[in-house]
């Protein structure tokens, strides 16, 4: 997970109790996680500093959910960000674990991420068609796909069969999609 330098700096500030008191930290964390359950998304923040912190913490939360981090991975990332105050880490992780399923659902509804294809297995079967005088062997491909639902750990198995022509058509569509993705990545790198 890559975070920009402003977010890293905000987490260093969060670690400093002279900069943000324990009471204010707890209120901030409570406000942030309440965003996912309340219908009122307007949070009263005292300053632009709080808004910036809110943005940084939300970004971190979304990235943790996106990459399906467990508690040890999150702790490790927080330590990398020099956010080493264990009581504050514990407070954050308690709220994170408490609201994880709600955040996943929220991201699933609001995001543009798609399910992730994890694995494809295939086999070739030969279908024998006869009409008593002629025998015709027709190749049939059986595909087993393993995919992970977006922002969750749910893994689904999809199985289907297709002809050789259908498989070639599917492969061409995958190649087209791959070339479009490469072009988009190249354009993003060129902008930087």
Task: Quote the percentage of the chain above a pLDDT of 70.
Answer: 88
Residues 58 and 137 in one domain: no
% of the chain at pLDDT higher than 90:
29
Residue 77: predicted pLDDT: 93
**Residue range(s) defining the domain that contains residue 85:** 5-110
Residue 75 sits in the same domain as residue 26: yes
Tell me: do 105 and 13 sit in the same domain.
Answer: yes
* Rounded Cα gap, residues 177 and 183, in angstroms: 10
pLDDT digits (tens, 9 = 90+) for 138-158: 888 999 999 887 767 778 899
User: Of 55, 90, 110, which residue constitutes the final position of a domain?
Assistant: 110
**Do 84 and 125 sit in the same domain of this protein?**
no
What was the pLDDT predicted at 176? Answer: 92
Task: Tell me: do 128 and 101 sit in the same domain.
Answer: no
Q: Are residues 23 and 101 in the same domain?
A: yes
**Do residue 106 and residue 131 come from a single domain?**
no
Dihedral pair phi/psi, residue 30, rounded to 5°: -60, -45
Residues 76 and 120 in one domain: no
When divided into structural domains, the chain yields a total of 2
Among residues 110, 128, 146, the one where a domain terminates is 110
pLDDT at 105 over 70: yes
Read off the pLDDT of residues 33-90 as tens digits, 9 standing for 90 and up: 888 887 655 666 666 567 788 889 999 999 998 888 999 999 999 999 999 889 999 9
Boundary (domain end) residue, out of 110, 136, 153 = 110
My answer on whether 150 and 105 are in the same domain is no
Mean pLDDT of 151-167: 86
Tell me: do 91 and 21 sit in the same domain.
yes
């Amino acid at each position: 997970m890559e975070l920009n330098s402003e977010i890293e700096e905000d987490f260093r500030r969060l670690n400093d109790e002279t900069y943000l008191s324990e009471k204010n930290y707890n209120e901030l964390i409570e406000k942030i996680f309440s965003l996912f359950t309340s219908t009122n998304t307007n949070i009263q923040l005292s300053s632009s500093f709080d808004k910036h912190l809110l943005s940084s913490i939300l970004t971190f939360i979304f990235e943790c959910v996106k990459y399906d981090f467990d508690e040890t991975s999150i702790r490790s990332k927080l330590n990398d960000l020099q956010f080493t105050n264990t009581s504050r880490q514990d407070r954050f992780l308690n709220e994170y674990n408490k609201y994880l399923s709600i955040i996943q659902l929220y991201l699933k509804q609001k995001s543009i991420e798609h399910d992730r294809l994890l694995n494809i297995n295939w086999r070739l079967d030969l279908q024998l068609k006869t009409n008593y005088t002629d025998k015709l062997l027709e190749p049939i491909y059986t595909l087993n796909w393993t995919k992970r639902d977006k922002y969750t750990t749910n893994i689904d198995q999809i199985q289907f069969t297709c002809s050789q022509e259908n498989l070639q058509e599917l492969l061409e569509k995958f190649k087209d999609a791959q070339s479009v993705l490469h072009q988009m990545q190249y354009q993003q790198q060129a902008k930087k």
